[in-house]
Chains A and B, each alone.
Chain A
């Protein structure tokens, strides 16, 4: 459908020299709102809540202004209160033993240092059902992201799942995946004052420069092999058009094939989360906002509504408190599964932990 609409533009562009250009939308000055990113699952704790200010339109979303010093708690329907501790600026965690129980209801309370007070309603945790199978298919030249001349291949990850019986299932899917990269931090160089090039290995590479200006390994490299983890950045929820509890061939991820991801293997875990009505509505709106882009007939101007209410204070509150049971499944995609193997990666002269986001040099247990 989307392609179709895009072609209407193309028609406009060709026939009438129509054009698409950046638009200076009216700038609405607004005090940043407070964002609550909270998830309570039935999995072993600690449970975690992030608190931060919303960003302007040109800001870096990954590094928002975090809010310290807040008092955060979850109350269950029996009145038991679980207090959260601030483990790092803006990040609050429960006790390790704290987890939700299916069938119980929970309420989130947030009190900031400046006196803003937000609360959710009681939200019941519903069963998550099961993922019956998880599989993937290679598709060539499906990603072009605005550059038709640069087609990119992708691996589509699909799942078949079931909601818990005797209930219309509202579900959300998310994934995270890990792969391996390797870098050559020992090959860093520097220029001496007289212009000659000198080796300058990162200390973590285990190399030093000896008296003859040669590289010399003194301990094993600590930052040559890393395992970055990436997270789904698209909202994906079940279709509530059907009363059926069976979900088949749900496309949960479209993983671009690049030089790194499938170099060795790609370890992907999908989680199926049960979501209550308001939480479902939130993710459904986010999904609509993301899918609506580039479609003039399906505008993506979607006002997303969260489930936190402002009790006091004059700052807007965004975000969601999700209470979800979780079930998960893992798939490993091998290099051999990619018909056109990725080309040989570049030589990266960097500490591998800084090359990709969310990287660790500790080999994961599943690797």
Chain B
């Protein structure tokens, strides 16, 4: 602000402290100066006797220098004060948005408006707690006038410095209702906030990459809120599908229960439900999600820079926590086209014990039965699934707590011809946590996971039962220190029992063979330490190391194959038999982890991540997606563990008003010893899988760009990913090479991926949401020639994955009508009208070949979704 002569010559004289407004009125009476201002603008500024003798120009600059109020002198007498409207507008916007979202705004004044020290920044601090339980909340985003300022620490504390004056302070965290405070700050002070868990069970998972600047590289927090608002397939809200819409994540199609992260395969994702790995994440072979979104609390997704506490899968971690009841008794439910669900919970025993339960069951048979088509037999088929969860926790004291979490899902699929497919997942855990003090806590977890399936055929002459199962109990001990450093130490042990499969006839007339593949037993142990600290004011470092070991135990037989020959049964030279509990193979791995965050400014940071991870169990598959009869294979004497290394580097920024966030992140990943299949290999019930699989090196690299708008009536994100994913076999035997040992595209090498999602509030109750996805068609091989040998037709194909399916793209829209917005009402219902695949594109799921009757294979395209799929669903909460 430029000094102005006239104002320099006017000296200040006050007898006692007066408001600036009063001083100006006095000056007007003494001089020809006329001041134009709004009294309330200047009342906050006080002039005390220490300023006597100073010029008016000096005093104005001193008091208003760092505020949004400026002044100017015109015609040597008119002193005009101007208030910059932007800050007010931003505040007004926040207030408007908050009221649009039916938020209450509390008013808090710190200090006396008349008695504050001008020009001094005020320290405002406080603790954020959960309304019901009184527990402190970590990682709450604190925003001042819409600009994000800080996160609460592990004890729920925050500190910010503010200019004196009127502000809007907001607090937000994942599944909690945002809290807004209209703050009059005139003195340093304490301001505590309470957050209320969203009173209802989730509607849908909305991806909110809040605080992109402050999170780890490669981390996304999927906050589960406002659930029924996104479009979905047949009205089933799907967490996995939301993950599939993250930058760097792709999927091979609709019947794909897994997802591919940064060019990795589906088995390289660690999906945890309350800490227990879940191996099958879908119902009905991938059509529907296996998790009831109403029962899910928080979801964290890491696709790079994976912390040391996680291990065992090389590509990503999807950590899902079951919802814990923290409120009065409440419930929710919904009805979709194929399933209905209920969830509910509450606390009792003076809120020391909480219970949360959910269940979902399908009733899709009516759809099958109601459709008349050429496939009339299908009305005899049925598709059923259910899932359920229960979470009970009890606080013995403020320090100790015991939590039980159980989850189960099951599928039953019966077919025209008497065969029945049955699959189930189970995950149960018992967790005890103990707080030694504010800084140290300990947890011990005993859990067990199980995945199994069975296929039975009851047709008289072919009757058989085919089964597979894996059970994995584990014990995990963790110790966390939270202070200036965030240190974690843990010991994790998981015992894996593989029942790799059997086939047996079930009637005496049956022709089915009897095959029993011997069980395998493995023990995965891990010891980790991680340390997160601020190396300097700007550089945050999280360094960790994880030491892993995997042992397999007898009984078992190891075949020795002739050296210098391909691994094939005819080349077995010897076999070694192992007794019960005798160690058959041992692998060790040292896994360094590093995550760095360098703050460039309040709104920008650079992040770096490196992780090495060993993976000891492998999904044996010759398809890109998870197939119903896939087999998880233990590492053993033949299959060495996969070793994955990933580097990622990203630049993150947010706009000053916190409305937009953007990032660009690049990665390079190499995984040694992934298992790829030999051409024509039969993988189901293979008693010698080592003869059907070849180790390959997988490598992928790419860049992800993302821009999101996170506040306002229109929110959403657009992202673009360019990446490549290759594999290469390294063997000297022709039989063990794919494409002659040259690199080839992996099944999910999809160079260009565009993802767009948005949510627009038409009014307080109406929302218009949408998702658009585009990706390059995935690789395939095509036939190029045909011939017969000894009357048998043979097709010649191009090298593996040398060509591509047509590109995939799809638009989904939804219109959501929420209930009225009275804050305390008994029943709150939401209608969602979803349109899946709006322009009815017949995206190719797979290309397969059928004999044209003359021995030549003709290509056919299978489109799982061939039309627009409308659905209407209703959900409620009480």
Contact = CB atoms under 8 A, between A and B. Distances in A.
Q: Do A and B bind each other?
A: yes
Interface of A: 1, 3-4, 7-26, 28, 30, 32-33, 35, 37, 39, 52, 54-62, 64, 139, 146, 148-149, 168, 170, 174, 231-235, 240-243, 249, 277, 281, 284-290, 292-305, 318-320, 322
A326 B857 CA distance: 30
Nearest 5 CB-CB pairs, A to B?
A288-B680, A23-B861, A17-B867, A231-B791, A54-B785
B859 interface: yes
Contact of A289 (B373, B795, B863, B864): B795
A61 B855 contact: yes
B82 interface: no
Interface in B330-377: 364, 367-368, 371, 373-375, 377
Given A18-B865, A295-B848, 14 more contacts: A13-B375, A16-B869, A21-B842, A24-B859, A55-B785, A61-B786, A139-B461, A277-B568, A292-B680, A297-B623, A302-B679, A303-B679, A303-B781, A319-B787
Contacts of A232: 791-792
B799 interface: yes
Contacts of B416: 3, 7, 10
Given A3-B419, A15-B367, A318 B865 contact: no
Contact of B861 (A21, A28, A292): A21
Contacts of B848: 293-296, 299-300
B254 to A, nearest CB: 7
A66 to B, nearest CB: 12
A301 B797 contact: yes
A167 B850 CA distance: 37
A127 B419 CA distance: 41
A61 B687 contact: no
Contacts of A12: 254-255, 287, 845, 862, 864-865
A285 B735 CA distance: 11
B628 interface: yes
Given A18-B865, A57-B785, A170-B570, A293 B791 contact: no
Contact of A11 (B284, B782, B863): B284
Interface string B664-691: 0000000000000001111010111001
A242 B680 contact: no
A277 B570 contact: yes
B856 A241 contact: no
A26 B803 contact: yes
Contacts of A300: 848-849, 857
Contacts of A56: 785-786
A19 B866 CA distance: 6
Given A26-B782, A57-B786, A294-B850, A243 B572 contact: yes
A299 B461 CA distance: 27
Interface string B563-591: 00000111010000000000000000000
Contacts of A57: 783-786, 856, 858
B180 interface: no
Contacts of A305: 679, 734-735
A287 B455 contact: no
A297 B570 contact: no
A54 B375 contact: no
A25 B861 CA distance: 9
B800 interface: yes
B851 A293 contact: yes
Contacts of B791: 231-233
B798 interface: yes
B622 interface: yes
B415 interface: yes
Nearest to A14: B371
A22 B691 CA distance: 34
B794 interface: yes
Given A18-B865, A37-B788, A285 B377 contact: no
B172 interface: no
A243 B784 CA distance: 36
A304 B796 CA distance: 7
Contacts of B73: none
Nearest to A283: B792
A233 B784 CA distance: 20
A60 B628 CA distance: 38
Contacts of B867: 16-17
B583 to A, nearest CB: 25
Given A59-B786, A241-B687, A303-B781, A22 B622 contact: no
A184 to B, nearest CB: 27
A16 B866 contact: yes
Given A20-B860, A30-B785, A293-B850, A285 B679 contact: yes
B99 interface: no
Contacts of B787: 33, 35, 52, 54-55, 61, 64, 318-319
Contacts, number: 255
Interface in B755-809: 780-800, 803-804
Contacts of A32: 785
Nearest to B781: A301
A285 B627 CA distance: 22
B619 interface: no
Given A303-B797, A318-B787, A20 B849 contact: no
23 contacts: A11-B383, A13-B866, A16-B867, A18-B862, A23-B847, A23-B861, A25-B783, A32-B785, A37-B788, A54-B796, A57-B783, A61-B793, A61-B855, A168-B572, A174-B790, A231-B791, A285-B680, A289-B795, A296-B846, A296-B862, A297-B627, A304-B794, A318-B785
B378 interface: yes
Contacts of A10: 375, 378, 381, 416
Contacts of B413: 7
A359 to B, nearest CB: 15
A54 B455 CA distance: 41
B417 interface: yes
A292 B623 CA distance: 12
Contacts of B803: 25-26, 28
A109 B455 CA distance: 50
B270 interface: no
A60 to B, nearest CB: 7
Given A23-B847, A303-B781, A303-B800, A233 B679 contact: no
A299 B682 CA distance: 11
B848 to A, nearest CB: 6
Which of A24, A234, A296 is the most central at the interface, judged by chain B CB atoms within 10 Å of its CB? A296
Which of A25, A39, A285, A296 is the most central at the interface, judged by chain B CB atoms within 10 Å of its CB? A25
B30 interface: no
Contacts of B687: 241-242
Given A54-B796, A61-B787, A304-B796, A7 B415 contact: yes
Contacts of B831: none
Contacts of B629: 1, 297
Which of B287, B796, B850 is the most central at the interface, judged by chain A CB atoms within 10 Å of its CB? B796
Contacts of A304: 679, 794-796
B511 interface: yes
B680 A284 contact: yes
B788 A62 contact: yes
A168 B691 CA distance: 15
Contacts of A298: 622-623, 682
Contacts of A33: 785, 787, 796
Given A174-B790, A300-B857, A303-B679, A18 B866 contact: yes
Interface in B789-843: 789-800, 803-804, 842
Contacts of B846: 296, 299
A20 to B, nearest CB: 5
A174 B799 CA distance: 29
B550 interface: no
A117 B381 CA distance: 57
Interface in B421-455: 421, 455
A240 B784 contact: no
A224 to B, nearest CB: 27
